Amino acid sequence: MDNVFIEGLEVDTLIGAYDWERDIRQCLRLDLTFAWDVSAPAAEDDLGKALDYASVSASIEAFARAARFELVETFAERLAAALMSEFGITWLRLRVTKPGANPAARGVGVEIERGCR
């Protein structure tokens, strides 16, 4: 199976368990890999058969704007389910990084895989 990816997508969202975090929007950095057969869209040069990066990115940004989670884990789980449902994705890997959450680290977060290849 082929992979399509979006790397380093930054979105602002309301995320965090601490009281001070509940009043601000914070940046999350997302790296996504999707199982997607690229042979049909490539053969016909047909965007309609491809996984449209712009549409996926717009959906992620809308999700992040509306999200109100305490945990990065919850953000990741819910986003993965939404993308799989909306775009018919059978497998994905999603890495969510919260930069600045730990001053001694470049970022912290989670990486999940959902679905079947």
Mean pLDDT, to the nearest integer, of 73-99? 98
Q: How far is the C-alpha of 4 from the C-alpha of 71, rounded, in Å?
A: 27
Measured CA to CA in angstroms, residue 44 lies from 40, 48, 51, 55 at distances of: 6, 10, 14, 20
What pLDDT does residue 95 have? 98
pLDDT category of residue 65 using cuts at 50, 70 and 90: very high
Inter-CA distances, 18 with 32, 37, 70, 75, Å: 27, 42, 8, 16
Taking the C-alpha atoms of residue 49 and residue 35, their distance in angstroms, rounded to an integer, is: 14
- Percentage of the chain with pLDDT > 90? 93
Whether residue 60 has pLDDT greater than 90: yes
The count of structural domains within the chain is: 1
Q: Sort strands 68-69 and 107-115 into parallel, antiparallel or unpaired.
A: unpaired
Active-site residue set: 98
Q: What gap in Å lies between CA 56 and CA 52, rounded to an integer?
A: 6
The residue among 22 and 6 whose pLDDT is bigger is 6
Q: Which domain holds residue 69?
A: 3-115
Q: What is the pLDDT of residue 109?
A: 97
So what's the pLDDT on residue 44?
Answer: 94
CATH code for position 82: 3.30.1130.10
